[in-house]
Structure 1
């Protein structure tokens, strides 16, 4: 006989302000235990040496994780000039040094070259797979992976501060797959020096930002009070950028049973073709696809 899944049917998003020193997986486990949720996952990994926004999906919200992971992100990070490391952050051994310390003018002149669609070689110490093996496992074993450059999107780069000659603080808005550690490495090389990340904080994932985030301590206090409304965002929050379609109760039932429905091709409020968030009676029904006058169910929520 199979064991029943432990936990309650808790559905929605918790936006955690991840502390330093914990992995994303450890944070998911802590939030799951605090909320007693039967199912949990996260919407984008943060390294242990990084802090900030870690969206955690509970219950049916796990069905929308892919949209959170694909959303734009904002990071604030500090680069240490004159030293490159094996991991491109402060955790790795120093691999080379340089006496060059770029000035403000040189940094500002460099930044536009990294904006837009660019090619970026991921760090050797990353979770990417090479012939079935994690790149960081290969690197730790002394077998440095050969990672090909990948296209990424950088929407905005800003120099925020230069506290001293050795350090500069930046902010970046970027798309899925961009590595901030690789940016620091490439900044150093572009400026005739070398560099690595010494501090990294994610301040935004899509619509999730610091204004909606809770620390583990504050979340624990709210959970003790059973104040779910204070920390839980609706399942569909990660889908804010997807057009919505409101249907009737009978239409929602047809979709829940895997059957398509038809809509009029004339009149106000006609949604575009493609993926839609379907709602009925003020609640999310699930994701569907519109093709001409037909709405086909894709992924439905059991709420």
Structure 2
């Protein structure tokens, strides 16, 4: 049934993806024109700190953990922001071109910024796609997404450890005088990720295997499912640039009824209407499914909160999922 749903979505979304891609071109060209007019930036802030820009909130948090007080970090995308649909503003372009280093996820997660990064690389600007460090053989393939890989790699903690080490290495290369600090911060954070993974497995062990079915708004949790033994189904595809059709809703509602799924989940960075439509579809067939809560998928929580960190977000998600499905 799950394969049937995925194949159905594939056909509809391939065409839609390329339509969306075509519409992006004019805006990207205009942005690139602005970039060409930007002047080279100084190598350091006046306070001597490396000036770093990160795209997603997950990467911003990671760089804060590794870079500490030795860097000036700016994040482009805040809480609740969908990186699949994010468009760079004129202010963003200025941030990118006045930074010493730019860290982005890659694998076409930041779909509307791809051509900007490619242009920056041609101009020998210091950009780092953190997913470059990952072995592509270990990534989940996607037949209908442009990168051919699922970009939601932060839901695999082992991948996040590799990216932590890679980020520290790139910071050390750019700022050797703070190399020891970056190494210490990285080691401390890697230990915290080890603790996180154990805690997550302990929490999930309280949920019977037959109840580990995770239904969400879009396919952001496949790495999570693979790592922790969940069957994962999303109404939308890997990119939120695609939309769920009526048949997607109907087929998934039948799957929920057949498998007695207790709860489904909305995502903080995706409009809730698709999950509400799914809930209504299940209800129209004489069954009930609850909305188990909001999960953080493509962005962290509000800055300054526990969920505003990668570790806090992960624990919050798992507690929410397990509590709702028990």
TM-score relative to the length of structure 1: 0.20
TM-score relative to the length of structure 2: 0.19
Structure with higher helix content? 2
Structure with higher strand content? 1
Indicate the structure (1 or 2) with the bigger Cα radius of gyration.
Answer: 1
